[in-house]
């Protein structure tokens, strides 16, 4: 029970989330924040096997069979996705193992009779846990101290940790807890992924798999390589209205052929380029 500080009520989802993520960070710290996935899996006696389920959409699976903990990993093209999936599946086992199974037991109680809800809660927790394991907090902090809350930090974090731009974008937004729409696209305007965070913005999903019109500032503004550009722009939405004008910070990584953009209410004040003005 060491991760739950109260005994007078059953923990809610947010209590379980915070407690589990703390336990994951403690677990990782005790192993010097290793990025050696196989070493951790070995220590936990988890057997890693290649998945042959070629038609299933899942890139990995975690389960226990006859007492043996197992992770199945599909061979996917992107090494970055594979490593994230591996930590994600390991997180499912950690969810059972850490704190002697408290997390799973409390979640089972909370979601009793609603297995779909239960599974989607655990999925979300394991995505967050994988992000912590792949991008430890002290690494995220050192990147943002250098580059602020900016698309450049996404590029740097990805290069330092091997996380994808999608994963690094989510990790950075959650860590800094800044209301924003994050958009990952190709320089030609094809939106590949997006993430929404915060009270108001969290309700509106940008979506993915659509192309921006060529007049959008993300396409019409000049970009300098690896420099954050700032301009006003409407938040793009897949098939939705575009009336929401917002402040936008965007940068291009030409080597990777990717643009990352953050739509925010206000430009963050922790960025170095602003501080150095004074």
- Residue numbers of the site for Zn ion (CB under 5 A)? 123, 126
Nearest Cα to Cα of residue 131 among 169, 159, 178, 185: 169
16 or 126: CB nearest Zn ion? 126
d(CA 69, CA 106) in angstroms, rounded, equals 21
Distance between CA atoms of residues 83 and 23, nearest Å: 21
* Min separation Cβ 126 and Zn ion, Å: 5
Coil, strand or helix: which one is 166? helix
Q: In sequence order, what E strands does 157-278 have?
A: 180-185, 190-197, 210-211, 229-234, 245-253, 258-264
Q: Which helix (H) or strand (E) holds 28?
A: helix 13-29
The dihedral through the CA atoms of 43, 1, 24, 13 has a sign that is positive
Minimum CB–partner distance for residue 42 and Zn ion (Å): 21
Q: Which is nearer to Zn ion, 86 or 184 (CB)?
A: 86
Query: In terms of CB distance, is 45 or 123 closer to Zn ion?
Result: 123
């Amino acid at each position: 029970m060491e991760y739950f500080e109260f005994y007078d009520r059953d923990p809610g989802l947010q209590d379980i989330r915070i407690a589990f993520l703390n336990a994951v960070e403690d677990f990782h710290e005790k192993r010097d924040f290793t990025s050696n996935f196989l070493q951790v899996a070995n220590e936990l006696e988890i057997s890693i096997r290649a998945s042959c389920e070629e038609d299933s959409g899942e890139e990995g699976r975690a389960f226990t069979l006859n007492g043996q903990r197992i992770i199945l990993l599909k061979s996917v093209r992107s090494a970055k996705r594979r490593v994230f999936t591996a930590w994600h599946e390991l997180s499912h086992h950690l969810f059972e193992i850490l704190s002697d199974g408290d997390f799973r037991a409390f979640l089972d109680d909370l979601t009793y009779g609603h297995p779909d809800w239960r599974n989607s809660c655990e999925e979300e927790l394991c995505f967050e846990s994988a992000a912590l394991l792949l991008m430890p907090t002290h690494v995220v902090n050192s990147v943002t101290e250098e580059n602020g809350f900016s698309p450049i930090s996404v590029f740097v974090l990805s290069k330092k940790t091997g996380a994808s731009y999608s994963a690094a974008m989510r990790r950075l937004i959650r860590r800094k807890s800044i209301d924003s729409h994050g958009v990952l696209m190709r320089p030609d305007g094809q939106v590949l992924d997006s993430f929404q965070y915060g009270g108001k913005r969290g309700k509106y999903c940008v979506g993915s798999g659509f192309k921006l019109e060529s007049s959008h500032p993300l396409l019409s503004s000049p970009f300098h390589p690896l420099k954050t550009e700032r301009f006003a722009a409407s938040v793009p939405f897949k098939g939705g209205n575009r009336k929401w004008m917002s402040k936008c910070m965007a940068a291009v990584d030409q080597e990777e052929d990717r643009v990352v953009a953050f739509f925010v209410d206000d430009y963050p004040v922790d960025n170095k380029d602003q501080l150095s003005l004074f």
